[in-house]
Amino acid sequence: MIKRLVITTFLLVEYFSGQEKSQDCMYLQYCKVCQSYKAPRSHHCRKCNRCVMKMDHHCPWINNCCGYQNHASFTLFLLLAPLGCIHASFIFVMTMYTQLYNRISFGWSSVKIDMSAAKRDPRPIIPFGLSAFAASLFALGLALGTTIAVGMLFIIQMKVILTNKTSIESWIEEKAKDRIQYYQTGETFIFPYDMGSKWKNFKQVFTWSGIPEGDGLDWPVRDGCHQYSLTIEQLKQKADKRVRSVRYRAVEDYSGVCCPVTKGVKTFFTTPCTEEPRISLSKGDLILATRGLKHWMYGEKNLDSAADGGVRERGWFPRKCVEKCQYDSETDQPVDGEKKNR
């Protein structure tokens, strides 16, 4: 693991040193946490506290990010887990059927179920009583539920793989369409990494050796696009988000708990079902809100102290804890530490 990290760091240094010479770093995003430029298709993970190449999402079940190095392995896991659950479901069904076959008698007016030990010779090694039947039925439900849930995740992953995207990039593409439609710019956003063939896209992730193609830094792109087409669109979306964001001031303290009891019943029961964090608020804090729900808002709080280095804290907070400032746009008063245009 350490060897792989050293090699990756060396490749990034070599890669970006060459990019600085060609002035291509003006198209790259800068990660303030990692204190370095992000490679194309890379994103910073708050859980892992590092930038991940070709990040798809952070999976809490494997306690790791799904990205360039393990996208194929994670997808195979999503395939094999439902198959194993289907096999387990078949075993549970056949076990309950064989054990109950001689114990259930159906009549015209009543149903008699005998859950005592088997009345046959030889006796089973493990008596199939009421507790064993309940445990088997519960395990069958878990197996079927896992099959459906994980199977749907596998289908979603295969859809993005066959278009050579990640879940994050699919969301970026949707936001690009919304941005173009909102401003009526007339431009057309073409996803640069879709090779136009499902088989070619499939081979970008799955290989016979198990090692994905490329180095995670340079990617083959479609005609008419270049390596930074997606990054440029991300920079446009971030600039648009700053323009359309609204500034609020905290009027109540908020501890940052997931389901606050003291902020009202509606706020408690409508807490966002997401892994995104909550941010604590103190009366008088300034928050730049970028999106929101009926009772919750998402934004960032600027930490102005020198110890924090101007790092912004992002997360959800209750709407009733803030009020809109007189200057309601980020453009009316720029935020300290805002990234300058390069």
Question: Which DSSP letter does residue 41 get?
Answer: T
CB atoms within 10 A of CB 273: 5
Integer CA distances (angstroms), 104 to 59, 124, 136, 141, in order: 45, 17, 17, 22
Structure tokens at 264: 């009202």
Q: Is 339 helix (H, G, I), strand (E, B) or coil?
A: coil
For the CA atoms of 118, 122, 123, 125, the dihedral, rounded to the nearest 10 degrees, stands at -140
Please check whether residue 65 is in contact with residue 48, taking contact to mean a CB–CB distance below 8 angstroms: yes
What is the secondary structure of 48-81 as a DSSP string?
A: TTEEETT--EEETTTTEEESTTTHHHHHHHHHHH
| 59 counts as catalytic | yes
Q: Confirm if 229 and 28 have CB atoms less than 8 A apart.
A: no
Closest CA to 132 of 115, 111, 144, 145: 115
Which residue among 31, 48, 59, 225 is the active-site one?
A: 59
Token digits of residue 306: 């020198």
Q: Which residues are catalytic?
A: 59
